[in-house]
Amino acid sequence: MAPQAGKPNAVLARCLDELGWSPKALARKLNRVFGAGTVAESAPYHWRDAGSLPRSPLPMMAAYVLSQELGRPVPVAELWQGRVGDSSTLVPADTDLVRPWTVQGMEATVGDWVMGGLVDRRRFLAISGAGLLAIVAQYLDGTAGRGQYTHRITPSVGADPLVDQVEQHLPMLSALDDEHGEHVISLT
């Protein structure tokens, strides 16, 4: 039987107890994952203590965050005792990518994608601009570190004579095109 408004949400209370979190900690985690201002810090107290339902898509977002932290699926229907409809949520594609650039970090990311698809059937927003550049910049400037497999994916200099030859001749062909105004080669 689904609890009604005014009755505590025992499932949410158990999840928070298991994590050692207050409702305020849940709100802060939601705001870290989904962006500042996603939820007021006092809202989860109403969800837990009075059985209030959050506005959509917060039920899905709360289930996602709790699933990630508990390391097991927490379905929306279970968390809100069937009182909210099944809905998808839009999650930024760079959500939870603050992980080390290691095999374990990659495995955690892939596990997140797989579990996310099974638990909440979410759709991802495309990542572009500053979000994408921040991730790539860590790799390029070396702050991401060098993993144990870097030597396997970094080609050695002069590994392919054909590629080396093409790279040497491209500037000359480009200059020839610039001098004579003919389309000798297209670099795009």
Q: What tens digit of pLDDT does each residue of 12-61 get?
A: 999 999 999 999 999 999 988 888 888 999 999 999 999 999 988 899 88
Token pair of 68, please?
Answer: 């990630």
The pLDDT of residue 148 is 44
Average pLDDT over residues 73-81: 89
Distance CA 38, CA 54 (A): 11
- Percent of the chain predicted with pLDDT > 90: 24
Read off φ and ψ for residue 26, nearest 5 degrees. Answer: -65, -45
Average pLDDT over residues 148-155: 46
The pLDDT of residue 35 is 82
- Banded pLDDT at 97 (limits 50, 70, 90): low
The pLDDT of residue 94 is 59
The pLDDT of residue 2 is 45
Residue type, 176: L
Cα atoms found within 13 Å of the Cα of residue 116, Cβ hemisphere only: 22
The pLDDT of residue 147 is 47
Is the pLDDT at 155 greater than 80, yes or no?
no
The pLDDT of residue 23 is 96
- Banded pLDDT at 173 (limits 50, 70, 90): confident
Report which of residues 70 and 168 the model is more confident about: 70
Read off φ and ψ for residue 91, nearest 5 degrees. Answer: -115, 130
Is the pLDDT at 66 greater than 80, yes or no?
yes
The pLDDT of residue 42 is 95
Q: Are 71 and 98 in contact (CB under 8 A)?
A: no
Average pLDDT over residues 1-21: 84
The pLDDT of residue 84 is 79
Weakest mean pLDDT among 1-5, 69-73, 126-130, 172-176: 1-5
Domain boundaries, the chain: 1-87, 91-154, 156-188
